[in-house]
Amino acid sequence: MEQDDLAEQARRLFSGRVEFLKSAPSLKFLPDPDAPEIAFAGRSNVGKSSLLNALTGRKSIARTSVTPGRTQELNFFEVGEPTVFRLVDMPGYGFAKAPPKVVEQWKRTVRDYLRGRLVLRRVLVLIDARHGPKPVDIEMMKMLDEAAVGYRIVLTKADKIKATELEAVHAATLAEARKHSAAFPEVAITSSEKGMGIAELRAAVLGDALI
């Protein structure tokens, strides 16, 4: 499919039915594996909910919160009528304000989901453009490498820094991606607030779902 056609198809699809399906606190609550899934991973407060809202053109499809670590379950959203694919909002990692036992449970759930979910087509690893890849991001990337799950790196909040700084962070993130076996060899640059890179990311998500 031509890139322009894919972008237009993605725009129409995301402007149609996008509905919350369910939350899964553990694997036994996962929905039936009958639709492709694209998962979103990122440090707490990286702007995951804002990006999901921007992609779907909704104000609150995914709740945004200033409290890091608010998403504690795998949250599933269906896209299309009938469902073409699902978006999966994964628990934020890093400095989540939760007891160590709860954090460990999240990690186990995420790891098991990544390793065992046959309909998982791609993971988007969100990294704050103001900071670039941090050790916890690299830990997540290694987890995905080990699970042999392909992933795209997406820089968020790109409007919050100067163009020269963004260029440097982009280059450093690209260099890091090239060290990882399962990382896509491109890094997307986005701003949920300004709409930067959103149309391109929509097209990429649809393309990944249709693989």
pLDDT digits 0-9 by tens, 178-207: 999 999 999 999 999 999 999 999 999 999
Give the model confidence (pLDDT) of 104-157 as tens digits: 877 888 889 999 899 999 999 999 999 999 999 999 999 999 999 999 999 999
Give the CATH number of the domain where residue 89 resides: 3.40.50.300
Distances (CA, A) of 206 to 5, 72, 91, 111, 197: 11, 26, 22, 24, 14
Domain count, the chain: 1
According to the model, what pLDDT value does residue 44 have?
Answer: 82
Distances (CA, A) of 47 to 26, 124, 175: 23, 12, 23
The domain of 104 spans 3-209
CA distance 111 to 165: 33
Give the model confidence (pLDDT) of 89-117 as tens digits: 998 887 556 778 877 877 888 889 999 89
> pLDDT-derived band of residue 26, with 50, 70 and 90 as boundaries?
confident
Give the model confidence (pLDDT) of 43-91 as tens digits: 988 999 899 999 999 887 766 444 444 457 899 999 999 999 999 999 8
The pairing of beta strand 18-24 with beta strand 74-79: antiparallel
According to the model, what pLDDT value does residue 63 have?
Answer: 60
According to the model, what pLDDT value does residue 85 have?
Answer: 97
Backbone angles phi, psi at 178, to 5 degrees: -70, -10
According to the model, what pLDDT value does residue 1 have?
Answer: 58
According to the model, what pLDDT value does residue 66 have?
Answer: 45
